[in-house]
Amino acid sequence: MQQPVHAPIALSIAGSDSGGGAGIQADLRTFEAFGVHGTTVVTAVTAQDTRGVRAVHVVPRAVLQAQIDAVLEDFTVGAVKTGMLATPATVRAVAAALDGHPRLPLVLDPVLVATTGARLASDDLADVLRRHLVPRAALVTPNLPEAERLTGMRIGTPRAMRMAAQRLLDAGAPAVLLKGGHLRGAIRDLLLTHNGERWFDQRRGRGSYHGTGCTLSAAIAARLAHGDTIEAAVETALAFVQRAITGAYRPGKGVLRVLDHRGAADPQGPARKRPRAR
């Protein structure tokens, strides 16, 4: 008898968000929206809600390693994404584990600060990420503050975005999606590879949103698990996040809005627009 056809499998290595808006929780909802079986490695447990981060507990290295071994020894994972890694020791452990799977595509979301402004990483994490995971990644997806930490340069214009993305390519990344939401005006995201560049212009939503970076990197990983190219995965993921922002809601007492992953997955949804590419 033929074996049943299973959904593609993706792995999220990230922190847990007790408020359910970002981190592992957002990643799993995103995987589900793309028809991907989600597996997880929890790097840290956070006590957070729509108002802020109250506490962070980093998972001990032995437990972290046991989670990675449990997933990669049992499942045929099609793509990995990382989110909050918090400490240099966690970064090194993840890098060492992934060294044994060199063909497994990695989407590196270099989470350093929460949407509320709370720090989610040690001061030296950016340097350790750049040395140990940037060269290993298939795609790096920093926002502008994260890219500034990774490159050591100030980014205030699209031209500076291009220069910063090139620095990350020079550091070993084969592709960089630099998110321009922190600049004023219309949002412009830059996908830069050794084959060229592509700019994506998008609408700017009203209010503050929680989990957009997690959702975007998880969506890209989901599409890579389906076999998409980097460019196709990025385009599809950006459109998904735009739909999820359109249906965002405020489940708590804070100002942060949580993305509507379920509504974004509905092909009949009202906001099925793709970002304009240049």
Contacts of 277 (CB under 8 A, 6+ apart): 198, 199, 200, 201, 235
CB-based burial, 219-235: b 16+ in 10 Å, e otherwise:
bbbbbbbbebebbebbb
Please give the pLDDT value at position 267: 56
CA distances from 278 to 158, 198, 272 (A): 13, 6, 19
Rounded distance, CA 189 to CA 141, Å? 10
Nearest C-alpha neighbor of 157 from the set 206, 111, 190: 190
Per-residue confidence (pLDDT) for residue 161, from 0 to 100? 95
Average pLDDT of the residues of the chain:
89
Using the Cα atoms of residue 166, residue 168, residue 170 and residue 173 in order, give the sign of their dihedral.
Answer: negative
- Can you list the domains of the chain with their CATH numbers? 9-277 (3.40.1190.20)
- What is the rounded distance in angstroms from the CA atom of residue 145 to the CA atom of residue 97? 28
> Can you give the pLDDT at residue 183?
80
Residue 99 CB partners (closer than 8 Å, separation 6+): 136
**Parts of the chain with a pLDDT under 50:** 1, 116-117, 268-278
Give burial (CB, 10 Å; 0-12/13-18/19+) of 3. exposed
Say which residue the tokens 């459109």 belong to: 239
pLDDT at 103: 93
Per-residue model confidence (pLDDT) at position 64: 97
Tokens of 182: 């922190």
Task: Determine the Cα–Cα distance for residues 26 and 32; give it in Å rounded to an integer.
Answer: 10
The helix or strand, by DSSP H or E, that contains position 54, with its residue range, turns out to be strand 53-58
Q: What is the pLDDT of residue 210?
A: 84
pLDDT at residue 276, as a whole number: 45
Distance CA 140, CA 135 (A): 9
* pLDDT value, residue 122: 64
Q: How many CB atoms lie within 10 A of CB 207?
A: 10
* Predicted pLDDT of residue 120: 55
The two tokens of residue 96 are 């060492």
Question: What pLDDT was estimated at residue 5?
Answer: 58
Q: How far is CA 84 from the centre of its chain?
A: 9
Phi, psi of 40 (to 5 degrees): -140, 150
